[in-house]
Amino acid sequence: MAHHQNIVFMTLVVFGIVLSGLIYLVYTSTSHRYKQPRFCHKIKKEDQENSLLHLQSPYGLSYKQPSVVSPDGKVVPVAPWLAPVVWEGTFDPTLIDSIYKQQNITIATTVFALGKYTLFLKDFLESAEQNYFVGFRVHYYVFTDHPEHVPAVKLSEEHHLTVLTVPSSNRWQDISLSRMARLEKLIESRLFNEADYVFSLDVDSKFYGRWGVETLGRLVGAIHPGYYQTPREQFPYERRPESQAFIPSAEGDYYYGGAVIGGLVKDVHEVAKTCREQLDIDASKSVEAAWQEESHLNKYFLYNKPSKLLSPEYLWQDFKPHTNEVKIIRYSQVIKNYAAVRPNK
């Protein structure tokens, strides 16, 4: 009897050892399987997400021109690739501010104030302090050849300003052409470390209304106020195939203003780098696109769609009469006497 019980006991012990061994094996192999592939999967997924985020479209694709205002006069709040177009009424300022308040973000803002363009800095900065990312950390980077003409404007607590001295140019076209290269270099030398988002803005402008976190996105362009109801064949795109900025007459979404380029630092770097390279190729062939960097920006945005678009509320011109669809003017180019501020015609 005792002998029989021993056999049963030993069988149970052996069975127990085998079972716990199995459990251990299964446990370690699942935890191993859990960790390892999850790591691989994560990397793959990120790569995929990164490329999915890039809204590249092929050359020569034929589709209808998107409209900004529908036939019944209502504004269109979304582009045909499902990027929001920011208009008054499409966002709740209190809600969107409190969402972004939880993120510790810095918005770098570059302006180019060369030659007499330093005249515009005072109004630009003073009006920005009233309207531009109020309550968020902003770092202005002012490029100028006359640092002594940068006005002392009182900045709010979280707003900072750095003056970057650059050599003078004799042609405004050259000033315009060198902006992309300067932006590219500044991003590489500082902004990758110092900011989350960057906007490159024209200085000959003023803020009249809120410009806040509703404008933040991966890649942001502003619809030019002069062409938002123009058939694309009439956009002032570069139409000569010998320029890198060439766009065929049957293509185009919107005409974007060169006065505003924004987005994540990494994505704006890509814009600046690509446009600078295209500008260099044109320069080597003595070709200058119709509207210099603006033409190259339009080409970039046509094939690399912005993830967010700013309606003409965010880029107006003071001389333009008010229209029904634009309820609020937030940022607008001031009326200027070109002869008085440009070094040449």
Ligand X SMILES: *[C@@H]1O[C@H](CO)[C@@H](O)[C@H](O)[C@H]1NC(C)=O
Could you tell me which residues are annotated as the binding site for Mn(2+)? 202, 204
Q: Which of 214, 270, 288, 294 is catalytic?
A: 294
| Nearest distance, CB of residue 104 and ligand X, angstroms | 4
Pairwise CA distance, residues 3 & 129, whole Å? 94
| Nearest distance, CB of residue 186 and ligand X, angstroms | 17
**What DSSP character marks residue 238?**
B
Note whether 298 binds ligand X by CB under 6 A: no
What CA–CA distances, in Å, run from 191 to 11, 26, 140, 254, 268?
A: 70, 49, 11, 29, 10
Phi-psi category of 303—alpha, beta or left, where left has phi over 0 and alpha has psi -120 to 50?
Answer: alpha
Note whether 178 binds ligand X by CB under 6 A: no
Residues 100-129 within binding reach of ligand X (CB under 6 A): 104, 106
> Which C-beta is closer to ligand X: that of 160 or that of 320?
160
| Nearest distance, CB of residue 106 and ligand X, angstroms | 5
Q: Which residues are annotated as a binding site for UDP-N-acetyl-alpha-D-galactosamine?
A: 117, 202-204
188 is known as an active-site residue: no
| Nearest distance, CB of residue 197 and ligand X, angstroms | 12
> Which C-beta is closer to ligand X: that of 104 or that of 284?
104
Q: Which residues are annotated as a binding site?
A: 117, 202-204, 224, 294
What CA–CA distances, in Å, run from 227 to 124, 141, 234, 244, 282?
A: 24, 30, 9, 22, 25
> Which C-beta is closer to ligand X: that of 106 or that of 109?
106
> Which C-beta is closer to ligand X: that of 106 or that of 295?
106
Note whether 278 binds ligand X by CB under 6 A: no
* Short-list 260, 258, 236, CA closest to 247: 236
Q: Report helix, strand or coil for 82.
A: coil
Helix ranges (H only) for the chain are: 2-53, 93-101, 121-131, 172-186, 192-194, 265-284, 292-303, 338-341
Just list the catalytic residues.
294
Binding residues for ligand X, per CB under 6 A?
Answer: 104, 106
